[in-house]
Amino acid sequence: MKRVAIVAASALMGAALVFAAGVSTSYAAKVDCSKVMDELNGGKTAKDVAKDLGISTSSVYRCKRHAKEEAKAGTKTMNKVRGQAVGSPAAVPSSMGSPAAAQ
């Protein structure tokens, strides 16, 4: 009798773990950060965006954080492509020339 109870409890626990893993994965896929950012850039508050899209406010803030990180990474990438730091004198294109050369 104990053996049957242990097997049944193990099966129920395994089913619960499978269900819990599936729920978190499918929920994470529902957040469309591009829509979230469009709404935020349109002047809505995080609370309004969350309500309109049916997501949590923490998901809205997560999208904002990811967008900020992507923008920062994009800036660093562009600086590496140019091979110069932002604001350095070498950042002026050579085609513009120096003010002395224009005279």
What CATH number is attached to the domain comprising 42?
Answer: 1.10.10
Q: Write out the residue range of the structural domain in which residue 64 sits.
A: 28-78
Query: CB neighbours of 50 closer than 8 A, spacing ≥ 6?
Result: 56, 57, 59, 60
The secondary structure of the chain in percent helix, strand, coil, rounded to multiples of 5, reads: 75, 0, 25
pLDDT: which is higher, 19 or 75: 75
* Contact residues for 99 (Cβ-Cβ < 8 A; gap 6+): none
For residue range 27-54, list pLDDT tens digits in order.
555 799 999 999 999 999 999 999 999 9
Q: Are 91 and 85 in contact (CB under 8 A)?
A: yes
User: In total, how many domains does the chain have?
Assistant: 1
Side-chain-side CA neighbours of residue 92 (13 Å): 6
Domain assignment present for 41: yes
Mean pLDDT of the chain, nearest integer = 77
